């Protein structure tokens, strides 16, 4: 396939002119090399085999589609396969263009790992755990799967409930924080703030309130609720930036904690601002909410530009 034909295939996909089966196969091909973390762990020979295998699966499916046969000269397309694969493997933005909602994986590999999701939610993966989630959440839907243990701080969005799959359990939230731990077929969920609804096949749904914990095993006839163990809560938030309560703390220290938690850079229009002191609990607050609370308390305002934030006196122009 020459560049014009390949561009036509892309244009047809983006314009929705490909039939669903063909579009799905195209996305599947991209997904086979779209999991950046797994792909980068492969050796060069394995990477090449993965690229070729994914391409071959796609081409076998698309050859059967009469619409695409009329679009593309497949003899020349096969000859240009290596060039197309090179374009895809070297251009992550092309993957996002084709399949922005593709499922990707994150691993904690024996340590606590922070992952900020596309909606601003934060997941603290613990131990040897894996999180499966879309690169970008599609409109109207937020859904992830966890294998292992993770502390979730869910960004509030009433129009899009957040679903967490963990074994046989499904946890539904709007904006709250909780810990999920799966061990074999058993799942324990500890709620820190807000409310969540937990469901499982052939079990009555359970609504969990703060200071409660839910335990599920396949042998139980119901999802068991019980009071939290305070020592367990302390262990849950260890090695995370979850706890953000400050008592008469220097603003500079608070801002440093916010920077670490949300992976942002905060600049001050006047260094004197850093000397302010503040008592506030920013635990389980989003970045915007945290900055708004600080600004309201100290008569400040902030401007955000991507990962950069400028904090200044409210009277400044």
**How confident is residue 315, by pLDDT bands cut at 50, 70 and 90?**
confident
CB 214 within 8 A of CB 188: yes
Is pTM beyond 0.85? Reply is no
Residues of the chain with pLDDT > 70, as a percent, come to 68
**How confident is residue 298, by pLDDT bands cut at 50, 70 and 90?**
very high
Look at residue 88 in the predicted model and tell me its pLDDT.
47
Q: If you average pLDDT over residues 39-54, what whole number do you get?
A: 50
Higher per-residue pLDDT: 234 or 14: 234
Query: 59: how many CB neighbours lie within 10 A of its CB?
Result: 15
Look at residue 29 in the predicted model and tell me its pLDDT.
54
Distance between CA atoms of residues 81 and 83, nearest Å: 5
Task: Say whether pLDDT at 171 is over 70.
Answer: yes
Look at residue 46 in the predicted model and tell me its pLDDT.
52
**How confident is residue 72, by pLDDT bands cut at 50, 70 and 90?**
very low
Instruction: Tell me which of 77-81, 153-157, 167-171, 192-196 is least confident.
Output: 77-81
Task: Say whether pLDDT at 149 is over 50.
Answer: yes
For the record, the structure tokens of 216 come out as 């599920």
Distance between CA atoms of residues 197 and 176, nearest Å: 11
Task: Say whether pLDDT at 75 is over 90.
Answer: no
Q: Which residue has the tokens 């607050």?
A: 285
Residues of the chain with pLDDT > 90, as a percent, come to 45
Alpha carbons within 13 angstroms on the beta-carbon side of residue 284 total 15
Per-residue model confidence as pLDDT tens digits over 203-259: 899 999 888 999 999 888 889 999 887 777 888 998 899 999 999 999 999 999 999
For residue 296, CA distances in Å to 120, 131, 284, 285 come to 22, 36, 18, 15
Q: What sign results for the dihedral spanned by CA atoms 300, 301, 307, 308? A: negative
Look at residue 245 in the predicted model and tell me its pLDDT.
94
* Full DSSP string of 19-32: -HHHHHHHHHHHHH
For residue 79, CA distances in Å to 64, 74, 76, 85, 141 come to 18, 9, 5, 12, 40
Task: Say whether pLDDT at 79 is over 50.
Answer: no
Per-residue model confidence as pLDDT tens digits over 95-146: 555 566 678 889 998 899 999 999 999 999 999 999 999 888 988 889 999 9
**How confident is residue 67, by pLDDT bands cut at 50, 70 and 90?**
very low
Look at residue 5 in the predicted model and tell me its pLDDT.
59
């Amino acid at each position: 396939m020459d560049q014009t034909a390949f561009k036509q295939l892309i244009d047809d996909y983006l314009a929705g002119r490909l039939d669903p089966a063909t579009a799905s196969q195209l996305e599947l091909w991209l997904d086979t090399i779209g999991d950046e973390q797994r792909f980068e762990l492969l050796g060069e020979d394995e990477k090449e085999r993965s690229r070729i295998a994914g391409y071959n699966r796609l081409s076998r499916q698309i050859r059967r589609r009469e619409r695409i046969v009329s679009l593309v000269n497949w003899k020349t397309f096969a000859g240009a396969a290596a060039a197309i694969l090179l374009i895809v493997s070297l251009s992550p933005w092309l993957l996002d263009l084709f399949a922005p909602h593709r499922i990707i994986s994150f691993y904690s590999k024996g340590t606590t790992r922070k992952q900020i999701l596309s909606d601003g939610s934060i997941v603290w993966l613990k131990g040897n755990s894996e999180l499966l989630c879309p690169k970008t959440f599609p409109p109207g839907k937020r859904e992830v799967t966890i294998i292992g243990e993770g502390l979730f701080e869910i960004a509030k969005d009433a129009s899009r409930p957040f679903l967490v799959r963990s074994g046989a359990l499904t946890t539904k939230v709007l904006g709250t924080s909780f810990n999920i731990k799966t061990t074999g077929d058993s799942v324990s969920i500890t709620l820190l703030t807000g409310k969540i609804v937990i469901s499982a096949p052939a079990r009555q749904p359970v609504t969990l309130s703060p200071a409660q914990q839910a335990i599920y095993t396949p042998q139980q006839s119901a999802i068991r609720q019980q009071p939290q163990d305070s020592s367990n809560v302390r262990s849950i938030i260890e090695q995370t930036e979850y706890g953000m309560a400050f008592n008469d703390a220097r603003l500079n220290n608070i801002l440093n904690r916010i920077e670490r938690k949300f992976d942002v850079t905060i600049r001050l229009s006047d260094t004197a601002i850093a000397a302010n002191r503040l008592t506030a609990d920013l635990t389980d607050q989003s970045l915007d909410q945290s900055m708004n609370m600080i600004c309201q308390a100290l008569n400040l305002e902030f401007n955000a530009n991507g990962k950069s934030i400028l904090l200044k006196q409210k009277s400044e122009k």
